[in-house]
A and B are shown apart, each in its own frame.
Chain A
Amino acid sequence: MTVPPAASLLPHGPRARFLAHVRSWSARSLHGVGRLSRDNPYRDGDGCAPVVCIELGAQAAAALETLQRQAGGAAGGAREGYLVTIQDARFSVDTVPVDTDLDVVVRHLGTAGPLARYDAVVSCGGLECATVSMSTFLADPASRTA
Chain B
Amino acid sequence: MVLLEAFATDEAVRLRLRVDPSSRFFVDHFVDAPVLPAIAQLALCARAARHFVSTWAPIAGVVGVRLRQPIRPGDELDLEVGAPDESGLQRFELRRGATLVTSGGLRLKAGA
Contact = CB atoms under 8 A, between A and B. Distances in A.
B62 A16 contact: no
Interface stretch (A80-88, A97-105, A108-116): A80-88
A17 B104 contact: no
* Majority secondary structure of chain B interface residues (helix, strand, loop or mixed): mixed
Contacts of B38: 54-55, 58, 83, 86
Nearest to A139: B33
B37 A55 contact: yes
A82 B41 CA distance: 14
Interface size grouping (class) on chain A: 20 to 34
Nearest to B60: A91
A49 B40 CA distance: 10
B67 A89 contact: no
Contacts, number: 89
* Majority secondary structure of chain A interface residues (helix, strand, loop or mixed): mixed
Interface stretch (A7-15, A26-34, A67-75, A120-128): A7-15
Nearest to B58: A94
A87 B64 contact: yes
A142 interface: no
A83 B43 CA distance: 15
B58 A95 contact: yes
Contacts of B62: 51, 54, 86, 88-89
Interface of B: 23-25, 27-31, 33, 35, 37-40, 42-43, 46, 58-68, 70, 104, 109
